[in-house]
Amino acid sequence: MPFAFGPQAPRPGRAPGPRPAPAGAGAAACAARAPATAPAPAGAGRGQRPPRGARGGARFPQGREARAASSTTVLARSSSSARSSPWMTSRSSPRSSTWVVSAAAAGSPAAAAAAGAAVPKRVAVFAEPSPFHYVCGYQNRYKSLIRYLREQGCEVLVITTGKGVTAPFVDFAAAKEPPGDFHGAQLMSCWCFGCPMYWTMPLSLGLSPRVLSALKEFKPDLIHCCSPGVMVWGGSFFAQLLNVPLVLAYHTHIPEYVGRYGLPGLKSVAWQYIRKLHKPADLTLTVSSVLRRELAAAKVADYDSMEVWLRGVDSEVFHPRYKSAAWRERLTEGNPDAPLLVHVGRLGPEKNLLALKGILAEVRKGCPEARLAIVGDGPARGELEKALAGTGTYFAGMLKGEDLSAAYASGDAFVMPSESETLGFVVLEGMASGIPVVAARAGGIPDIITRSGENGYLYTPSSKSADSDQEAAAILVRLLQDKELNRRIGEAGRAEVCKYDWRASVTNLLTNQYPKAVERRRAAPEFWLHKIYKAVMAFFAFLAAMVSGTPDPSAPARGAGAA
C-alpha cells in the first residue's frame, strides 16, 4: 500500500488516486514495475515569507514551524530514538535527519528506514546548468530527481543558474530564472556566466552568502551536486563547511572531450581536476558500469565508494504512437517514401558527428534514396551543415515536446556515432520510440544495448577501426531493407527500455545509495573546514556575549563560592 510522510494533496490539475497505467506497446511491463505512490506533497503554508537570501524564483513554501509540524503528522519523530550524526551537533533544529516510521510500505523510504537505513529527508541539489532551461542529456534526469524526491516526501532545495552574461552576439536563452514552482521544491538561482569555448552554456560559482543562508535555514541532510563543473565547487565547499554528506554525480566525461576541442594535452590535467574535485565526496554516482570502472582505474574514487545511478526514460513521452506522416514529410524534405535515418542530440565537436558523413555515403551505396535527419543544435552545426551539404541531410534544429517525440518515431533507424557518452539518453529515447538503434560501442551505450543484434546494434567506433563506417552502414542497410528485422529489433529495444523507470531509479537512490553517503559521513572525521567554521562561530558568539554583557554560561555564578 502507498505511504505518506506528511500531509499529502494532489498537484493542481491532477485528480487524486493512483497514477494511471500507461497505454501502448510495452506499457504493461512498465505499469507492472511502477510502485504505487502517494500524490506529491502540496506545499502547505504557501504565501509565507521566504527566508532571507531567496532570490529570483526561490520558493520556500513552508516556514520552519510549518515544516516541522507537517513532517510529524504521519511520521512519529523522537530525538531519543533518532540516530545521532556528527553534522547535527552544529544544528539548532531538533528535526530528525532520518525517517522514523509509524507505517511503511515495502520498498519505500519508510521501509528502508525501518530496516536501519539512514534515509535523508531534506536534500539540497546543486544543478548546473539549469535543468529547467538548458537542453542537454541530464535535463530529464534532474527534473525527474526533483519530482520523485518530492513525491517520496522529501523536502528539496534546488540551487541552479539564473540570469547572467556571456560573450557578445551569443544566444544565452538558457540563462533564465527558475520557474515559479516545480513540484513544490524550493528553487534558488545564482548569477551565471557563459562557459568559455561553449558560450551558450551557463555556469555559476554558487559561492554566495545567500546560498549559505538558505542552506543554514534549510538544514539539509545531504547535498547532491552534478559534476564536473563550476557550481560543484560551491556545493562541495558548503557541504564541508556544514559537515553534511556530499554526493557528486559524474555526468560529463571531460577527459574525453578536451581532445575533441583541440586540447589533447590537457587530458592529464582534466583527470587531476576530477580527482581533486571528488576527493571530499562521501559518494560518487556514475551513469554506467563502464564509467564506474574507468573512474576507479583513474583513482578518482575507490570502486566501493561509487554507485551507478540507474537510468530512466519516460516510455509514454517517447512512444511509437507519435509516428507522423506530416513529420516524415518534413524530415525527408518531401520524400516520405525514402528510407530515413535519424540522429538526435547536442551538436558539439565531442560527439564525433562528422562520422555521419562517411556512414551516410556508405548507406547510400546500398540504399541510394536514403536520407538523414539531424535534430538538435550546438556549436558544431555550421561545420556539419557544410560537411553534409548535398547528401540528403535535413537539419531540424531544436525540437521539444510532441514534436521531438514525432521526430524520433517517424524515422526508420536511429544512428549514434558518439564515443564520449557517459550514458546516452537519446539512445534510450530512440529505443523507447520503437525504432532500431545503431550506436558506437563506446562509453555507457553498451550498458543500454546489452544484446547487440537483439535489442539494437553496436559497431566498432571510428577511433578503433578504419572500417567503422562500413560496419555501421552494413547494419543500417539491412535494417532499411528488411522490414521484419526492423520491426523486431525496434520492438525488442522498446521492451528493454520499459524496464527503466525514473520513479524506481529515484527510489533506489533515496533508499539504497544516499544512505551509504550518510553512513560514511557519520563514520568519518569532521571536515576540517567545519571545525574552523565552528571555532569562528564560537568566537563571534563570545564577542557578542561580551558586548551585550551577557554572562558566559560556562562561568560560575558570582558569589557562588561564598556559600
Identify the CATH number of the domain in which residue 161 sits: 3.40.50.2000
Contacts of 97-106 spanning 24+ positions with Cβ under 8 A? 97/121, 97/122, 97/221, 97/518, 98/221, 98/518, 99/5, 99/75, 100/75, 100/76, 101/75, 101/76, 102/74, 102/75, 102/76, 103/3, 103/74, 104/3, 105/1, 105/2, 105/3, 105/36
Considering the domain architecture, whether residues 397 and 266 belong to the same structural domain is answered as: no
Considering the domain architecture, whether residues 334 and 224 belong to the same structural domain is answered as: no
What pLDDT is stored for residue 19 in this prediction?
Answer: 42
Considering the domain architecture, whether residues 398 and 476 belong to the same structural domain is answered as: yes
pLDDT reading at 16 higher than 50: no
Q: What share of the chain is helix, strand, coil (3-state, %, to 5)?
A: 40, 15, 45
What pLDDT is stored for residue 474 in this prediction?
Answer: 96
Considering the domain architecture, whether residues 484 and 507 belong to the same structural domain is answered as: no
pLDDT reading at 12 higher than 60: no
What's the domain range around 259?
54-59+117-312+503-523
Considering the domain architecture, whether residues 459 and 341 belong to the same structural domain is answered as: yes
The enclosing H or E element of 198 equals strand 198-203
What is the mean pLDDT of the segment spanning 128-146?
88
Considering the domain architecture, whether residues 325 and 257 belong to the same structural domain is answered as: no
d(CA 77, CA 97): 10
Per residue in 338-377, pLDDT (tens digit) is 999 999 998 988 888 999 999 999 999 999 999 999 999 9
Considering the domain architecture, whether residues 271 and 336 belong to the same structural domain is answered as: no
- Out of 83-92, 132-141, 529-538, the most confident range is 529-538
Considering the domain architecture, whether residues 358 and 230 belong to the same structural domain is answered as: no
Per residue in 220-247, pLDDT (tens digit) is 999 999 999 899 999 999 999 999 999 9
Full DSSP string of 143-165: HHHHHHHHHTT-EEEEEEEEEEE
Considering the domain architecture, whether residues 304 and 379 belong to the same structural domain is answered as: no
What pLDDT is stored for residue 123 in this prediction?
Answer: 97
Residue 369 domain flag: yes
Q: What's the predicted TM-score (pTM) here?
A: 0.70
The number of domains in the chain is: 2
Residue 107 domain flag: no
Strand 413-416's sheet: what is its strand order?
Answer: 393-397, 371-375, 340-344, 413-416, 437-440, 457-459
pLDDT reading at 504 higher than 90: no
C-alpha cell at position 327: 513529420
Residue 220 domain flag: yes
Residue 98 domain flag: no
Domain boundary among 469, 500, 531: 500
Considering the domain architecture, whether residues 136 and 166 belong to the same structural domain is answered as: yes
Residue 176, C-beta contacts closer than 8 angstroms, at least 6 positions apart: 130, 132, 133, 162, 163
What pLDDT is stored for residue 306 in this prediction?
Answer: 96
Per residue in 370-419, pLDDT (tens digit) is 999 999 998 889 999 999 999 999 999 999 899 999 999 999 999 999 98
Residue 295 domain flag: yes
Considering the domain architecture, whether residues 494 and 507 belong to the same structural domain is answered as: no
Domain boundary among 485, 500, 515: 500
d(CA 172, CA 367): 40
Q: Are the C-beta atoms of 239 and 215 separated by less than 8 Å?
A: no
d(CA 114, CA 534): 33
d(CA 539, CA 546): 11
Domain boundary among 467, 500, 533: 500
Considering the domain architecture, whether residues 350 and 254 belong to the same structural domain is answered as: no
What pLDDT is stored for residue 440 in this prediction?
Answer: 93
Residue 303 domain flag: yes
pLDDT band at 10 (very low <50, low <70, confident <90, very high): very low
